[in-house]
Amino acid sequence: MNGESSEKTSDKEDANSPVCVGREEDIKRLQRTTVTVHGREVLVLYHDGRFYAMDCRCYHAGGPLHLGEIEDINGQPCIICPWHKYKIILATGEGLYQAVNPREPSVTPKWQSKGVKQRTHCITVDNGNVYVTLSDLADDIDSDYYAEKYKNTVHYPIKK
């Protein structure tokens, strides 16, 4: 085995390893913070008793999701991008839109999924610490473009 192949394996293993992003009580108090996990900017949220993690920049145009409001849409918590009001389900990263049938204009629009657009990541809590493990980056998701584009930007924890 040459050194190059073992280096690639090591990098891949590192990218799959969990990273401690803070104390559970601090993140609960802040409700959201931005962190860097293996070079990727990640938004960590605590909402209604549950932790979430996703790419920090919106899949549509790179909007700063850490500044977005959280709304309940069809019983699912969603973050609303502050730039263009795109709605993203916190748990799955699916983009939502309201569908209207032009042949039935009087019918109330229904929320529909665009599919997974925003990369979400795994959160674990152990011994009072919160860890983020990046999701499998093998398949491209729309938010990957902006995660790479804004890779070297600096985010500061949000204080309440």
pLDDT in tens, 110-127: 899 999 999 999 999 999
Please check whether residue 108 lies inside any domain of the structure: yes
- As for how many domains the chain has, the answer is 1
- CATH number, domain of 116, equals 2.102.10.10
- The pLDDT assigned to 4 comes to 41
- Asked if residue 154 is part of any domain, the answer here is no
Residue 2 within a domain: no
pTM: 0.83
Residues of the domain holding 100: 10-149
Q: How confident is the model at residue 79 (pLDDT cuts 50, 70, 90)?
A: very high
Q: Is the pLDDT of residue 25 over 60?
A: yes
Asked if residue 160 belongs to a domain, the reply is: no
* The pLDDT of residue 13 is above 90: no
Check pLDDT > 80 for residue 7: no
- Would 29 be classed as within a structural domain? yes
Strand spans (E) along the chain: 19-23, 32-37, 40-47, 50-55, 69-73, 76-80, 87-89, 94-99, 110-116, 122-126, 129-133
Identify whether 112 is part of a domain: yes
